[in-house]
Structure 1
Amino acid sequence: MQITAVILAGGRGMRMGGADKGLVSYQGRPMVAHVLARIQPQVDHVIINANRNLDQYQDFGLPVVADANDQFDGPLAGMQAGLHHATTDWVLSVPCDSPLLPLDLVSRLRRAIEQASAIHHTPTMLAIARSASGTHPVFCLMPRQLRADLDAFLQQGQRKVSAWQAEHPHVFVSFEDEQAFTNINQPPASLP
Structure 2
Amino acid sequence: MNHRTTTAGVILAGGRARRMHNQDKGLIPYRGRPLVCYAIDALAGAVSEIIINANRHPDRYRALGRPVVPDLTAGFDGPLAGILAAMRHTEAEVLVVLPCDSPLILTEHIEKLLAARDEHDADIAAAHDGEHLHPVFLALKTDLKNSLQEYLSRGERKVGHWIGQHRLVLADFSATPEIFANVNTMSELAALETQNER
Whether these two folds match at TM > 0.5 is: yes
Structure 1 letter corresponding to 2:13: A
Would you say the 8 A contact 2:126–2:170 is kept in 1? yes
| Correspondence for 2:176 | 177
1:105 to partner: Cα distance = 2.3
Please say which of residues 107-116 and 25-34 is displaced more in the overlay.
107-116
The RMSD of aligned alpha carbons is 1.5
Return closer, same or farther for 1:190/1:34 CA change in 2, 3 Å cut-off.
Answer: closer
Q: Distance in 1 between matches of 2:40 and 2:123?
A: 25
Would you say the 8 A contact 2:42–2:110 is kept in 1? no
Q: Distance in 2 between matches of 1:154 and 1:31?
A: 28
| Correspondence for 2:136 | 138
| Correspondence for 1:107 | 111
Structure 2 letter corresponding to 1:184: V
Gaps of at least 5 residues in structure 1 are: 118-123
TM-score by length of 2: 0.89
Would you say the 8 A contact 1:97–1:183 is kept in 2? yes
Q: Distance in 1 between matches of 2:141 and 2:189?
A: 38
- Write the mapping of 1:40-189 to structure 2, written as runs, cut at 5 A: 40-117=44-121, 125-175=123-173, 176-187=175-186
1:89-130, CA deviations, whole angstroms, 9 ceiling, x for partnerless residues?
11111000001113312321222122212xxxxxx6210011
- Greater RCO, 1 or 2 (C-alpha within 8 Å, sep 6+): 1
Question: Secondary structure of 2:74's partner?
Answer: coil
Would you say the 8 A contact 2:24–2:56 is kept in 1? yes
Match of 2:11 among 3, 7, 11: 7
Would you say the 8 A contact 2:125–2:138 is kept in 1? yes
Q: Distance in 2 between matches of 1:22 and 1:16?
A: 11
Q: Distance in 2 between matches of 1:152 and 1:190?
A: 36
TM-score by length of 1: 0.92
Percent identity between the two aligned chains: 37
Consecutive aligned runs of 4 or more in structure 1 exceeding 4 Å deviation: none
1:189 to partner: Cα distance = 9.4
